[in-house]
Chains A and B, each alone.
Chain A
Amino acid sequence: MSARTTFFWCIGAAAMAAGLFAVSDHARDRKDRLAELNRLVLAERERIQVLRSELAFLTQPQTLEFQNARALGLVPIEADQLHRSSFLLARLVGASEPPRTGARAGRDGHPNSGLPTEQPSRLSFAPETGGRQ
């Protein structure tokens, strides 16, 4: 092996060692960053979990009822504010009589009757009096 060859091997080894050191250093930085991010993710998840729990406490029916009574005075929806969508359709086309709904529909929509189920609509239909106050 000539001196020149040996020299180039040495240079190559030194360059490789330097490159390896740089890569290792970069990798270590990345690892530290990753670990930090993981800790942050976990901490965020903990906070989100706490916030979800607090929201669940705040939106309990009894809490909402109390806060509503204290500050808003809203009233729950009542039965006569619910109608089926077919009822609105009948009103739009000018039908004088609303279609049979609820109990008046008899066995319509029963799963064992073989008839299609008519889905109730949550649409609140305002009567001629101008709606509920």
Chain B
Amino acid sequence: MKPHRSASPALALARTRLTFGVLAFFASLAVLTIKLVDFGMFTQDRRPPAERTVSKHPVERGDIVDRNGRLLATSVVSRALVAWPPQIDDVEAAAERLSGALPWLSFDEARQRLSLKRKFVFVARRLTPRDQKAVLGLGLPGIGLRPEDLRIYPGGRLTAHVVGRTEPSDGGPVGNAGAEQRFNTVLSDPTQSVQLSIDIRVQHVLREELARAVEHFSAIGGAGLVTDIRTGEVLAMVSLPDFDPNRQARMEEAQANRASLLVAEMGSTFKLLTLATALDRGLLRLASRFDASKPIRAFGHRIGDYRGQDRVLSAAEVVVHSSNIGAARMAERIGAETLKTYLDGLGLLSRPVLELPEVGHPIVPQTWRPLTTMTVGFGHGLSVSPLQTTAAIGALANDGVAVPVTLLRRSAPAPVRRVFSSDTSDKMRWMMRQVVLRGSGSRADNDAYPVGGKTGTAEKVVNGRYDRRKRLSSFVGVFPIGNPRYAIFVMLDEPKARKETYGFATAAWNAVPAAGAVIPRIGPMLGVPAAGPDSDAWMRQIVPDRLLARLFKEEEA
């Protein structure tokens, strides 16, 4: 049937409207369908940033902890007082109200900060919650609070040189000393933490006793170390004077780390290494004789003893009486190349690898003349750090095996290298014990933990010359020496003589007692059982009593 002609326009109009209506309906349906699919499938990716913070850490930097998990450095969220100067109409009034709300902020300081021709300025940092409330209560336009990381060091001075510190930067806090600097990349991830080998309890005892000695002997500084000679882990590292990383932005020169950065001639402690080298090469025996009756005059120099015995000494007596003459003769017999080989094996001729930026390069003579070999034999002419000295003596006692030192807690054994034979190591442990029993180390001994060690007193070089009044006195020891486990090093920088030391300022009178005070306190902390009676019985297996008369003059009687 054909449509009626007169109805045709109306019908066409209705069709058109219907078509548009259906199209509009399907368009709306399409939009709704797209939105529905979008909502169902892609909503997660379109969440606003505020909703994606469920995994966000509140701070920007990871923690540093000691070997037992105690916090050494951590971060908390603080608020800084900030301002947008262009938005402040009346700077004077704003400064007045701010200084009124924050008593510690002066009007002049606030005005100066708010007057800066910048879009954004920090007015003050580290606001307490009370301060924050006071600022928000003012309701000042152009003034606000901004969250920022506040790095804090619960130990303060106690671990200052090891942990170091940070300084603020645009990209967050950046380490500028110690472990903070060395592990800056790791710590920049707040989910990561660094576990050091330091035991904060041992660190506390070492620092306390060292500070006491520094004060008592009016020294300008001091250094102390405790290491586990079997694992190479540094359990304590102290340097005085120190600084409070919570307050001080940068280290001053006098506060440099004397334990790892300072390099100096260590003096008589090197005699142990000289004797060990000679014994290991079979160049002499403990009973070998050296003429120390008069000073050596060689190559235009004089080598004498501090308190000479003025007689022929056995090799054992050379170490016990700390004879420079005897040690020089030993070194002469060893020869430069052999001595260098052993010192290099102990890591004394190159910069040690330690997880700190503050590690000193040893000062090694460029040419080893015969005189150099002789002086190095008693610890002069070669400058090394306390850290290197401690590691070397630790290797000597650790069955002759050198273990690399580390400031990180070890989870697996480190690669080791043998420097001395077991036999040499045993003899040297016996020798170190003799120094404590008969020589200058006696004040380090105690009933519970038999100690072996060696003192060293070296004059400092000032303007290219040795200064008799400025000394570095040190003691390096191992305990318990019968079953060696820990090495300890104590050094005082320019200690002064006192009445009770009879005018002496040598290591036997200052560094040794300080080490002696530390050992019985840290032994129980480290779980070392007491030695018990006849703790030196092991020594008779190395040198029988009947042979002592051949080694020591006083035994002859």
Q: Which A68-102 residues sit within 8 Å CB-CB of chain B?
A: 76-84, 98, 100-102
| Nearest CB in chain B: distance from A53 CB, A | 5
Residue-wise, chain B 18-60 has the 8 Å CB interface mask toward A (1 for contact) of 1001100100110010011001000100011011011011110
* Alpha-carbon gap, A17 to B35, bound state (A): 11
Contacts of B448 on A, CB cut-off 8 Å? 78-80
Contacts of B35 on A, CB cut-off 8 Å? 20
Does B531 make an interface contact (CB < 8 A)? Answer: yes
Q: Which B212-244 residues sit within 8 Å CB-CB of chain A?
A: 230
Does B201 make an interface contact (CB < 8 A)? Answer: yes
Of the four ranges (under 10, 10 to 19, 20 to 34, 35 or more), the interface on chain A belongs to 35 or more
* Alpha-carbon gap, A105 to B472, bound state (A): 36
Is the beta-carbon distance between B529 and A84 smaller than 8 angstroms?
A: yes
Is the beta-carbon distance between A79 and B50 smaller than 8 angstroms?
A: no
| Nearest CB in chain B: distance from A45 CB, A | 4
* Alpha-carbon gap, A69 to B200, bound state (A): 19
Q: Which A14-44 residues sit within 8 Å CB-CB of chain B?
A: 16-17, 20, 23-24, 27, 31, 34-35, 37-39, 41-42
Does B272 make an interface contact (CB < 8 A)? Answer: no
Residue-wise, chain B 503-547 has the 8 Å CB interface mask toward A (1 for contact) of 000000000000000001101110111111011111001000000
Is the beta-carbon distance between B521 and A76 smaller than 8 angstroms?
A: yes
Contacts of A106 on B, CB cut-off 8 Å? 482-483, 538, 541
Q: Which A98-117 residues sit within 8 Å CB-CB of chain B?
A: 98, 100-113
Given known pairs A83-B529, A84-B529, the reply for A112 and B77 (CB within 8 Å) is no
Is the beta-carbon distance between B422 and A112 smaller than 8 angstroms?
A: yes
Interface-facing stretch out of B150-158, B181-189, B356-364 = B150-158
Contacts of A42 on B, CB cut-off 8 Å? 53, 56, 58
Contacts of A122 on B, CB cut-off 8 Å? 527
Is the beta-carbon distance between A13 and B32 smaller than 8 angstroms?
A: yes
Residue-wise, chain A 36-61 has the 8 Å CB interface mask toward B (1 for contact) of 01110110011001101100110111
Is the beta-carbon distance between A41 and B54 smaller than 8 angstroms?
A: yes
Is the beta-carbon distance between A13 and B25 smaller than 8 angstroms?
A: yes
Contacts of A34 on B, CB cut-off 8 Å? 51, 54
Contacts of A41 on B, CB cut-off 8 Å? 53-54
Given known pairs A10-B25, A41-B54, A49-B58, the reply for A60 and B524 (CB within 8 Å) is no
Does B269 make an interface contact (CB < 8 A)? Answer: no
* Alpha-carbon gap, A65 to B256, bound state (A): 28
By CB atoms of chain A within 10 A, which of B401, B480, B528, B532 has the most?
A: B532
Contacts of A27 on B, CB cut-off 8 Å? 39, 43
Residue of B whose beta carbon sits closest to that of A83: B529
Given known pairs A20-B32, A103-B531, the reply for A79 and B482 (CB within 8 Å) is no
Does B450 make an interface contact (CB < 8 A)? Answer: yes
A-B contact pairs, 20 of them (CB 8 A): A10-B25, A13-B25, A13-B29, A38-B51, A38-B54, A49-B59, A49-B77, A53-B154, A59-B70, A78-B448, A79-B449, A79-B530, A83-B529, A101-B530, A101-B532, A102-B480, A103-B532, A106-B541, A110-B399, A111-B230
Ordered nearest first, which 6 A-B pairs have the shortest CB separation?
A: A103-B482, A79-B448, A56-B154, A61-B204, A56-B71, A79-B530
User: Contact residues of B with A, CB < 8 Å?
Assistant: 18, 21-22, 25, 28-29, 32, 35-36, 39, 43, 47-48, 50-51, 53-54, 56-59, 70-71, 74-77, 152, 154-156, 158, 200-201, 204-205, 230, 398-399, 401, 422, 448-450, 480-484, 520-521, 523-525, 527-532, 534-538, 541
